[in-house]
């Protein structure tokens, strides 16, 4: 039950993040891109174009009172995984001529107000592509 609720929260966060990115002028190329190729596996929540950048966006959603920023959960291991999947995406879609960037969208739902805050972190981390 907890994992089902976590999935619903994650899906809601990704939908809100997508709307937010569209309002910022991003063009959504893909959502929930999954890869399983040899030893490279993983998922990228949102892939979008922002001017001359292909942006690989990790969405982190939290509920309630938290003591750290959701983006802090994007560890170096997770960054490497995203980077590897991003490389395959660029090759597969023939988009290697574009610059790539890794962004994070943080969403925090407030229990008391039933609202949420959202923050876009451009260039949240760097990986060689």
Q: Which two tokens stand for residue 37?
A: 């190729």
Helices (H), 24-99: 76-92
Q: Which two tokens stand for residue 36?
A: 């399983």
Please tell me the predicted confidence (pLDDT) of residue 121.
95
Q: Which two tokens stand for residue 74?
A: 């994007």
Q: What is the mean pLDDT of the chain?
A: 88
Label residue 111 by pLDDT band (50, 70, 90): confident
The overall pTM is greater than 0.85: yes
21 or 40, greater pLDDT:
21
By CB atoms closer than 10 A (0-12, 13-18, 19+), residue 101 is: buried
Contacts for 85 with CB less than 8 Å, ≥ 6 apart: 33, 35, 40, 41, 42, 43, 44, 56
């Amino acid at each position: 039950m907890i994992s089902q609720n976590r999935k619903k929260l994650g899906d809601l966060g990704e939908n809100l993040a997508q709307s937010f990115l569209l309002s910022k002028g991003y063009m959504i190329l893909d959502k929930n891109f999954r890869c399983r190729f040899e030893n490279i596996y993983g998922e990228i929540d949102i892939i979008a174009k922002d001017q001359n950048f292909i942006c690989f966006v990790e969405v982190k959603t939290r509920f309630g009172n938290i003591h750290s920023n959701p983006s802090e959960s994007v560890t170096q291991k997770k960054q490497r995984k995203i980077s590897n999947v991003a490389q395959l995406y660029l090759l597969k879609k023939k988009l290697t001529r574009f610059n790539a960037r890794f962004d994070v969208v943080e969403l925090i739902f407030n229990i008391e107000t039933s609202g949420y805050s959202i923050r876009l972190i451009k260039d949240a981390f760097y990986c060689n592509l």
